[in-house]
Structure 1
Amino acid sequence: MKVYDYSFLKSDRISNNVLSLLVSIEKIQAVGIINSEMYPKVFSNLENISKRQSVKASNAINGIFATDRRIESLIDKDIDPANQGEEKIIGYSDVIDEIFTNYDSLQFNEYIIRDFHKTLLVHTGINSGGSYKDNDVIFTENLQDGTRRVILNPVSYQNTNEAMEALVKAYKIAIEDSTIPRLLLIPCVIFDFLCIHPFNEGNGRISRLLSSLLLFRNEYDVGKFVSFEKQIYNYKSEYYESIRLCSINWDDNSNDYNPFIQNFLESLYSCYIELNSRFRIIDNEKKSKKIRIEETIKKSWNPISRKEIHLVWPDISHETIKKVIKSLLNEQKIKKIGNFKDARYKRNWYGKTTQNEDNMVIF
């Protein structure tokens, strides 16, 4: 029988890779705090971008897709949802808004978890929102040789109430223990939530929302400015493989949490790297608008739109951004992806180099 107890995080069962990531995150977090004090307006705009990217990425992980323009209109309530997928997108947006705004007052307990789930599905007409599951399911995948293997065998619906109560209680005990690193505790709790799989649907999305809640409450709030969910989506196969590996022997308490902890911390560390790379000042000089635009594109891990550049640097006009991007394209420093209003831009690794390139951080 599964026992929810995180005291093992004080032992030597944690891998060296995980411990190294833990140290790296603690170091880089301080740089983010300094940047937020230096660029408050920029951080405010990054928060808006992160929310929208998180809504898109977390739903895409579960096969729910919509264009950037449509997601933006759905979030802003400018259009009505056209299908159930878009209704779920609105629900996710509503929950993430609540977390971003009120995380300090939102406790990790069954009421909040069920309320998140109810909000997630409230626009869909599905009447099971906020209710624990009433049937069992086993998650499998097809292998290349034609066989199938189990990825996750969740807790039975008959034991869900008891499991969720034990999970919340174990977290409350562990969070009060100062000898347990919170960045090790949070992914373990999230993984156990996934193994319980308390709802008929939406468990993956709820797990990522709870990840944000617990990270924010424990002062790891980089996900407010760079989408944590987008980092997971970028390496979705590794994410699912870490779940599969950690679930082996989970129900008899002999599983290894390290693969999921490492995947979780790698995603978090990527957020810090991307955030801090946007604010690296070369030789302490004030950068021109062109250099800021160029470096924002080059240092973004994912293709970025003109509108997102303007949100990062609101003092730069849309017309200036348009002109600079045209110049950078002509100089072969960046590449264009897509057309018209949906176009995005990324670094052209095979184009010309610049004098400042040696001073830049490449990720």
Structure 2
Amino acid sequence: MRSFTNLEASIGRVPGRIVTRLGAIDFGRGSEALYRDQLPGLLTELSHRARVQSITASSAIEGVVVSDVDRAERIINRRAAVLRTRSEQELAGYRDAQDYLFQQDWRPLNAGLLLHVHRLLFAHTAAPGGAFKSQDNLVVDRSPDGTSTVRFKPVAAALTSFAVDDLISRYRDAHRSGEHHPALLDGLFVLDLLVIHPFEDGNGRVARALTNALLMDHGYNVGRYVSLEQSVAESADAYYQALLDSTHGWHEGAADPWPWLEYFTGMIAEAYAVFADRAAAAKTPGTKQERIRVHILRHAPATFRLADVRTAVPGVSDQTIRLVLEQLKVEGSVRADGTGRAATWTRTSVV
């Protein structure tokens, strides 16, 4: 679509800082095979965690929250026989959409795939899914006082089907040419899809689910092991600002794609850095307790949760983490604030 009309003009000259990120992304992709050979158990564990984080985070961005963590995990792992609320239904829908894109041969990329992913998102609800919007829509910001500001005006409903087909055709042609970095083309596809805004609801979730699929289709599998959706949720303001900055003048073909592409490539590069850190932690010599202890005292934030340690030091049980925390608490190295899942821990000394 618009971003693909003249690629040489829009992304022919890549800013130096983004060139550096693309190098880090390609280096990370090159390391994936090594990790698969040396740490298959770690990758299995990371993929399970990333799946849960991605489904909950992408849903939460849209206000779909199941506050009971155990209940949410039962839904994600298909152990809940009944979905009690609309949020539970939509959480299950994102689960189905992501699992389809991760586990099935979803190719080729076409309008039918987008419609199928959207249908899966709403399959457990009474809302219709699997159809493009029938009325024009606006993307707005709503303030606490009830006022709203138009963020951007999407493509008209009457032009949506054409716009989607045109975007996919131009995107596929751009990849076949081999003239531009795949991550940049994937980022442009997501940008244009969000500006087209082809559905009445669920546009962000469809775009985020497809982000992982498109990257994996070109060999960038980090989204399997580190949740990109979680990264978006943790940087939501920057995410929306980057999109806003790259939509000005889009309809006229005068938009600047680099604010969005800088955010997009930064997110992927950071995910690869996290992936490498977790792999390195798994290969660190010493017992599991020693690895946990080193992480808490030398690498963890000043205040953290048990779940943060679990994510940073793969391959250890919560019971082992709690044992080390209690030892450090007795030593006076950490203190606990609260109890249970909501508890936070604060480091009081560093070794």
Q: Which band: TM-score by shorter chain?
A: 0.7 to 0.9
Aligned length: 346
In structure 1, C-alpha distance between the alignment counterparts of 2:135 and 2:275, rounded to whole Å:
42
Question: Does residue 353 of the first structure (1) align with residue 323 of the second (2)?
Answer: no
- Measured against aligned partners, the alpha-carbon deviations of 1:141-173 in whole angstroms (never above 9, x if no partner) come to 367999864322100101001101101101110
Counterparts of 1:33-112 in structure 2, within 5 Å, are 33-67=33-67, 68-79=69-80, 80-102=82-104, 104-112=105-113
Native 8 Å contact 2:292 2:309 kept in 1: no
Counterparts of 1:225-264 in structure 2, within 5 Å, are 225-264=225-264
What is the match of residue 289 of structure 1?
Answer: 288
Q: Cα gap change, 1:107/1:291 in structure 2, threshold over 3 Å: closer, same or farther? A: farther
What is the match of residue 136 of structure 2?
Answer: 136
Report the CA distance between 1:265 and its aligned residue: 1.2
Native 8 Å contact 1:56 1:65 kept in 2: yes
- Measured against aligned partners, the alpha-carbon deviations of 1:7-58 in whole angstroms (never above 9, x if no partner) come to 3378544322222211222223333442332110011011000000001110
- Measured against aligned partners, the alpha-carbon deviations of 1:287-321 in whole angstroms (never above 9, x if no partner) come to 211122245667578844299469931xx555433
Percent of counterpart pairs with the same letter?
25
- Please tell me the residue identity of whatever aligns with 2:44: S
- Measured against aligned partners, the alpha-carbon deviations of 1:193-251 in whole angstroms (never above 9, x if no partner) come to 00000011000000000101001111111110110100011000000001111110000
Native 8 Å contact 1:10 1:179 kept in 2: no
Counterparts of 1:205-354 in structure 2, within 5 Å, are 205-280=205-280, 286-294=285-293, 303-305=305-307, 308=310, 312-313=314-315, 316=316, 319-331=319-331, 339-340=339-340, 342-343=341-342, 348=346, 351-354=348-351
Q: Cα gap change, 1:3/1:205 in structure 2, threshold over 3 Å: closer, same or farther? A: closer
In structure 1, C-alpha distance between the alignment counterparts of 2:335 and 2:174, rounded to whole Å:
48
User: Which SS does the other structure have where 2:79 is aligned?
Assistant: coil
- Note the residue ranges of structure 1 that are not aligned, 5 or more in a row: 355-363
Counterparts of 1:147-158 in structure 2, within 5 Å, are 149-158=149-158
Q: TM-score, normalised by structure 1?
A: 0.85
Q: Cα gap change, 1:30/1:158 in structure 2, threshold over 3 Å: closer, same or farther? A: same
- Please tell me the residue identity of whatever aligns with 2:16: N
Native 8 Å contact 1:22 1:265 kept in 2: yes
- Please tell me the residue identity of whatever aligns with 1:188: L
User: Which SS does the other structure have where 2:109 is aligned?
Assistant: coil
User: Which SS does the other structure have where 1:135 is aligned?
Assistant: coil
Report the CA distance between 1:277 and its aligned residue: 1.0
Report the CA distance between 1:70 and its aligned residue: 1.9
- Please tell me the residue identity of whatever aligns with 1:91: G
User: Which SS does the other structure have where 2:205 is aligned?
Assistant: helix
Native 8 Å contact 1:42 1:312 kept in 2: yes
In structure 2, C-alpha distance between the alignment counterparts of 1:273 and 1:310, rounded to whole Å:
12
- Measured against aligned partners, the alpha-carbon deviations of 1:330-350 in whole angstroms (never above 9, x if no partner) come to 44555656632x24666x4x5
In structure 1, C-alpha distance between the alignment counterparts of 2:300 and 2:207, rounded to whole Å:
26
Q: Cα gap change, 1:131/1:311 in structure 2, threshold over 3 Å: closer, same or farther? A: farther
- Note the residue ranges of structure 2 that are not aligned, 5 or more in a row: none
- Please tell me the residue identity of whatever aligns with 1:182: P
In structure 2, C-alpha distance between the alignment counterparts of 1:133 and 1:58, rounded to whole Å:
21
In structure 1, C-alpha distance between the alignment counterparts of 2:87 and 2:144, rounded to whole Å:
30
In structure 1, C-alpha distance between the alignment counterparts of 2:306 and 2:207, rounded to whole Å:
27
- Please tell me the residue identity of whatever aligns with 2:74: S
Native 8 Å contact 1:337 1:345 kept in 2: yes
In structure 2, C-alpha distance between the alignment counterparts of 1:243 and 1:309, rounded to whole Å:
29
User: Which SS does the other structure have where 1:151 is aligned?
Assistant: strand
Native 8 Å contact 1:160 1:196 kept in 2: yes
In structure 2, C-alpha distance between the alignment counterparts of 1:324 and 1:338, rounded to whole Å:
17
In structure 2, C-alpha distance between the alignment counterparts of 1:255 and 1:144, rounded to whole Å:
30
In structure 2, C-alpha distance between the alignment counterparts of 1:101 and 1:337, rounded to whole Å:
40
User: Which SS does the other structure have where 2:279 is aligned?
Assistant: coil
Report the CA distance between 1:65 and its aligned residue: 1.1
In structure 2, C-alpha distance between the alignment counterparts of 1:231 and 1:248, rounded to whole Å:
24
What is the match of residue 194 of structure 2?
Answer: 194
Native 8 Å contact 1:49 1:311 kept in 2: no
User: Which SS does the other structure have where 1:53 is aligned?
Assistant: helix
Q: TM-score, normalised by structure 2?
A: 0.88
User: Which SS does the other structure have where 1:252 is aligned?
Assistant: coil
Report the CA distance between 1:74 and its aligned residue: 1.1
Native 8 Å contact 2:21 2:265 kept in 1: yes
Question: Does residue 161 of the first structure (1) align with residue 161 of the second (2)?
Answer: yes
Q: Cα gap change, 1:97/1:233 in structure 2, threshold over 3 Å: closer, same or farther? A: same
